[in-house]
Amino acid sequence: MQAVIATFLLVLFAELGDKTQIAALSMAASGGKTLEVFLGASLALVAATLMAVFLGRWVSGKIRPEILKRVSALLFILTGLWLLLRACELV
């Protein structure tokens, strides 16, 4: 149960204010179909998460966890740097 709570909180805070939420907000505001937008966005998040979980399981069988963590951290840092450079109009 601890993994469920930790995953829920991690995803919840990671997703707050992201592009998906802004798109859902915009669709709900412009179309007035709140339930339909909620269901569509929820199903999309479930599908994306399902793909990530199965891909993660598959990759974990091919790559040692410590290497996977280092590569993931490096990609996260590089993405952040790239976004920062773009925001400063250096790229």
Question: Among 51, 2, 41, 47, which Cα is nearest to 19's?
Answer: 41
Q: What is the mean pLDDT of the chain?
A: 89
Model confidence at 46, pLDDT cuts 50, 70, 90, reads very high
Model confidence at 91, pLDDT cuts 50, 70, 90, reads low
DSSP 23-68: HHHHHHHHH--HHHHHHHHHHHHHHHHHHHHHHHHHHHHHS-HHHH
Average pLDDT over residues 36-55: 93
The model scores a pTM over 0.75: no
